[in-house]
Structure 1
Amino acid sequence: MEMARLIATTTFSFYFLLLQSSSNLALSQSLINFLPGFEGPLPFELETGYVGVGESEEVQLFYYFVKSERNPTDDPLLLWLTGGPGCSGFTAFAYEIGPVNFKVLEYNGSLPTLVLNPYSWTKVANILFVDSPVGTGFSYAKTSLASLTGDFKQVHQLCQFLRKWLVDHPEFLSSPFYIGGDSYSGLTVPALVQQISNENEEDIQPPINLQGYILGNPLTEPIIEQNTVIPFAHGMGLISDELYDSLKRTCGGQYANIDPSNADCLNNIQAYYTAISGIQTAHILEPICGFASPKPQEFLIGYRRSLNQHPHQEILDPEPFPPPFIGCRSYGYLLSSIWVNDNDVQKALKITKKNGVGWIRCNYGLPYTTEIGSSFSYHVNLSASAKGYRSLIYSGDHDMIVPFFGTQAWIRSLNYSIVDDWRPWILQSQVAGYTRTYSNQMTFATVKGGGHTAPEYRPAECYAMFKRWILHDPL
């Protein structure tokens, strides 16, 4: 093992020198030992930086990198993408799978406080959280033309990002590598996995030790997923049997693209919206709160007609929180904007200022083109690959944005035989969800009580799920 690692390091030191001599390798990185709002030195290794991509490196992608708290040398490397498109990697870093959380207290004018996340996935993996596509978080473009982006451009730039980052971090060249993401990233992650696999076969250097991918609450087949929202609502007791039967009869079970001349279907759809108007679609058990909804307009590019994106009050009317507003999950999102936009925080993170534009957690104003209407074909190709890529697909079972009904449907349509049939998976003697494994090395899991996305609502369960899977243990 050590000999292989030595050979890899020597070989890719050569590639690093080659790249340096042939181009301006724009890589800046800083080790961060202290963060404002966190008491004492960080008990984990944090690095931030920019990687220049594009022909003239006119796009600068910002990242947060956290080394595994267990064994960085032997543990896998995970590249994580947040959905949107346009939501910063800081979302995953501070609200989902990263090493810190905000201490949610009523804002009193002081800097919000950070505390350790006991269920961080960085306890067993090295994780790169990237602000992608350009214009997300602290990533920026040097020209207006370079700011134009989309699905395929994002995938291409992330391939460049990753190879440059690995050349600059040769100690991770031989690490098992995985790509993960949630929500809208269900469209782009499979394309990125396919692109890296293709480039490896083409002997693009440095080679990446690609092992598989992870997707949470993933947008994959929008038509299928939209058509399962109403069955999900009925199954969860949100609409009556009579309305559901009438919807099926008048709409033919097709709710994604409704014929505008079908008056009976449209009337039933309106009745459906009336019935669910008080439901928080990110998690049907949580309250709807004003001002900052949990993920308002998440992944809406190319998905704006979705039934679950009916314009609810919390999106249209930015009213103040009703007391006690700190009881609303969305209040915690306000803390990130306050914290990240603090000058001392940006100095600590070694941020390059970009035209005085403030940081926002999710930038929905990106000049972004949706080009991948469905990522199903990528799953087909990756499942059939001789490389034997592993995959973990999980769903919060109270997510009404991308219901697990739809995720199960497209997985079934891959037509792979079942290796480990439907069963509960357990944490601390309790059912944490249900799982099934297929012959294409794909594991599907529900997270009981999880929303969109599952780790934010059920961190302990999701950490246990990830740890077992990444260590090749059964859920």
Structure 2
Amino acid sequence: MAHSWIGMLAVPLFAVSFYKGSCVPVQAKESWGYVDVREGAHMFWWLYYANSSSASYKDLPLVMWLQGGPGGSSCGFGNFEEIGPLDRDLKPRETSWVRAASVLFVDNPVGTGYSYTDTEDALTKDVAMVASDMMVLLKSFFSLKTEFQSIPFYIFSESYGGKMAAAISLKLTKAVQAGSVKCNFAGVALGDSWISPIDSVMTWGPYLYSTSLLDDNGLDEVTKAANAVLEAVKQGQYRKATDMWSITENVVEQNTNNVNFYNILTQNSDEMVKTSSDQTNGFLSSLKRRHIRPLHRQSLSELMNGPIRQKLGVIPKNVTWGGQAEAVFVSMAGDFMKPVVDIVDQLLAAGANVTVYNGQLDLIVDTAGQELWVKQLKWDGLQYFNKMKWTALEDPQTQSQTGAFYKTYKNFAFYWILKAGHMIPSDQGPMALRMLKMVTRQE
């Protein structure tokens, strides 16, 4: 294991840096670099030190953000579209999580974003492999950044990132106990997470029907398609289940006039609608249009392959940001529909703090599906948790309006975020920031 190049800047907040010919505002303190997690597999990380007017970064938590896909870039999408200090127009973000925590973005798995592999054979095949790679990166990171070893460390995630975060958190819990990784692991938060894929798919029809986006005929067609996915999962044919999942998404779109899977109240872009009839290449065509392209929209790609690449100064010439994204998804296709509910159970049994949070308007990972897998947990506190009433949280943007509900018992919590889709920090930034502070015990 070796990390190659590391860059670091320490300048006034949002000062303009003409760094390597670029004109990119930068945080007060940033650091980035590569870790060779395996031979031919190179993972990129980017750290923003917390920038709070009321506390030093040493008094605030460290949060690692993991994007979904698999193949979505944390350093790109999570950073510039959701929680980083700057938006994709390089303007300051008022609801940046850097205001309440140091934030570590990792392009994970290898092949995602600026991370890359020398050959496609080196791409990950399942979440166990993803977790092993991440242990190498975290061991390197905490050895390099010793000031973070005692600071509470949380993993926050979104979509498939949650599935990976669960596996990573369990492996990290064991590594910390064994002394092989020095960090103060404080918990994991699973946002709109692909923990039990079949529970999501099986609730698409009822959810769309209840929101007047399917009629009786449409509900019948979606239910039939979803049952085909269920049958493949029951038979352990997970690669086939991924194909059937894609077909079910097509059936949903055909019956809802192209509902947006990430937010049912937001229209798909013209580009996505125009290509919605292209179903000739099965799930690959489908995933590119629905789940890869939205995370690599042209404006973001131009930013990451232009000014940001120049600023960082360590990206190899042969690496294009997002260039291996589709290959990452294809390599993980056999693992895509497998559940990891048992891993969440193991985390809870080990005493790890687990938070689930979900957006009300999300379809791809709808809240009803999340409720189903949570009720499958063998966690000994579940019976009491289920009997609890939730507590309303006021919307930070609109007084006297409910922004979310939550309940927590022992080491498990659930947040229901209203008026938000799949990308909660994008849709409800102030509420997401408040949730972050609550989960990390700042409120």
TM tier, smaller = 0.7 to 0.9
Gaps of 5+ in 2: 12-16, 233-247, 277-281
- Deviations 1:189-228 (Å, cap 9, x if unpaired)? 1111000111223332x43211110111101111111111
Q: Does the C-alpha gap of structure 1 residues 423 and 142 become closer, same or farther in structure 2, counting only changes over 3 Å? A: same
TM-superposed deviation, 1:93: 0.5
TM-superposed deviation, 1:432: 4.3
In the alignment, what sits opposite 2:197?
Answer: 222
In the alignment, what sits opposite 1:426?
Answer: 394
Give 3-state SS (helix, strand or coil) of 1:102's partner.
Answer: coil
How many residues are paired up?
Answer: 399
Q: Is 2:62 the partner of 1:77?
A: yes
Bigger helix share: 2
Give 3-state SS (helix, strand or coil) of 2:369's partner.
Answer: helix
CA distance in 1, matches of 2:405, 2:322: 36
CA distance in 1, matches of 2:362, 2:144: 39
In the alignment, what sits opposite 1:365?
Answer: 327
Q: Is 2:402 the partner of 1:448?
A: no
Match of 1:463 among 408, 433, 443: 433
Runs of 4+ in 1 over 4 A off after TM superposition: 35-41, 241-244, 250-255, 268-273, 309-316
CA distance in 2, matches of 1:140, 1:65: 19
Q: Is 2:309 the partner of 1:336?
A: no
Moved more, 388-397 or 364-373: 364-373
Give 3-state SS (helix, strand or coil) of 1:214's partner.
Answer: strand
Q: How does 1:126-137 map to 2 (within 5 A)?
A: 126-137=102-113
Q: Does the C-alpha gap of structure 1 residues 188 and 122 become closer, same or farther in structure 2, counting only changes over 3 Å? A: same
- Deviations 1:42-87 (Å, cap 9, x if unpaired)? 3432212112222x5x322111110111221121111211111111
Q: How does 1:99-248 map to 2 (within 5 A)?
A: 99-103=85-89, 114-143=90-119, 145-147=121-123, 149-204=125-180, 206-240=181-215, 244=219
- 2:158, 2:192 within 8 Å by CA — same for their partners in 1? yes
CA distance in 1, matches of 2:253, 2:43: 40
Give 3-state SS (helix, strand or coil) of 1:116's partner.
Answer: coil
TM-superposed deviation, 1:408: 1.5
CA distance in 1, matches of 2:296, 2:315: 26
- 1:35, 1:42 within 8 Å by CA — same for their partners in 2? no
- 1:84, 1:362 within 8 Å by CA — same for their partners in 2? no
Q: Is 2:50 the partner of 1:68?
A: yes
TM-superposed deviation, 1:315: 5.5
- Deviations 1:71-117 (Å, cap 9, x if unpaired)? 211211112111111111111000011111023xxxxxxxxxx1011
CA distance in 2, matches of 1:168, 1:358: 26
Give 3-state SS (helix, strand or coil) of 2:5's partner.
Answer: strand
Match of 1:417 among 384, 404, 407: 384
Give 3-state SS (helix, strand or coil) of 2:147's partner.
Answer: helix
CA distance in 2, matches of 1:377, 1:224: 14
CA distance in 2, matches of 1:292, 1:52: 36
Q: Does the C-alpha gap of structure 1 residues 213 and 314 become closer, same or farther in structure 2, counting only changes over 3 Å? A: closer
Give 3-state SS (helix, strand or coil) of 1:257's partner.
Answer: helix
CA RMSD in angstroms comes to 3.4
CA distance in 1, matches of 2:429, 2:137: 29
- Deviations 1:141-180 (Å, cap 9, x if unpaired)? 2455434554222110101100111011100000111112
Q: Does the C-alpha gap of structure 1 residues 172 and 94 become closer, same or farther in structure 2, counting only changes over 3 Å? A: same
Q: Does the C-alpha gap of structure 1 residues 287 and 38 become closer, same or farther in structure 2, counting only changes over 3 Å? A: farther
Match of 2:30 among 27, 46, 56: 46
- 2:424, 2:432 within 8 Å by CA — same for their partners in 1? yes
- 2:24, 2:308 within 8 Å by CA — same for their partners in 1? no
Give 3-state SS (helix, strand or coil) of 1:218's partner.
Answer: coil
CA distance in 1, matches of 2:298, 2:155: 28
Give 3-state SS (helix, strand or coil) of 1:157's partner.
Answer: helix
In the alignment, what sits opposite 2:349?
Answer: 384
Letter of the 2:33 partner, please give it.
Answer: G
CA distance in 1, matches of 2:142, 2:83: 22
Moved more, 114-123 or 273-282: 273-282
**Larger Rg over CA atoms:** 1
- 1:426, 1:433 within 8 Å by CA — same for their partners in 2? yes
Give 3-state SS (helix, strand or coil) of 2:58's partner.
Answer: coil
Moved more, 30-39 or 433-442: 30-39
Give 3-state SS (helix, strand or coil) of 1:225's partner.
Answer: helix
CA distance in 2, matches of 1:421, 1:133: 38
Q: Does the C-alpha gap of structure 1 residues 394 and 450 become closer, same or farther in structure 2, counting only changes over 3 Å? A: same
Q: Does the C-alpha gap of structure 1 residues 252 and 288 become closer, same or farther in structure 2, counting only changes over 3 Å? A: closer
Q: Does the C-alpha gap of structure 1 residues 226 and 351 become closer, same or farther in structure 2, counting only changes over 3 Å? A: same
TM-score (normalised: structure 1)? 0.75
Give 3-state SS (helix, strand or coil) of 2:326's partner.
Answer: coil
TM-superposed deviation, 1:181: 1.2
Match of 2:71 among 70, 80, 86: 86
Give 3-state SS (helix, strand or coil) of 1:228's partner.
Answer: helix
CA distance in 2, matches of 1:66, 1:452: 24
Moved more, 215-224 or 414-423: 414-423
Q: Does the C-alpha gap of structure 1 residues 163 and 131 become closer, same or farther in structure 2, counting only changes over 3 Å? A: same
Q: Does the C-alpha gap of structure 1 residues 272 and 68 become closer, same or farther in structure 2, counting only changes over 3 Å? A: closer
CA distance in 1, matches of 2:406, 2:251: 35
Give 3-state SS (helix, strand or coil) of 1:283's partner.
Answer: coil
CA distance in 2, matches of 1:129, 1:270: 32
Q: Is 2:229 the partner of 1:256?
A: yes
In the alignment, what sits opposite 1:31?
Answer: 8
- Aligned-residue sequence identity (percent) comes to 22
- 2:391, 2:407 within 8 Å by CA — same for their partners in 1? no
Q: Is 2:333 the partner of 1:375?
A: no
Q: Does the C-alpha gap of structure 1 residues 313 and 347 become closer, same or farther in structure 2, counting only changes over 3 Å? A: closer
- Deviations 1:296-350 (Å, cap 9, x if unpaired)? 9xxxxxxx98xxx99599659x9xxxxxxxxxxx6993211112222x5323112
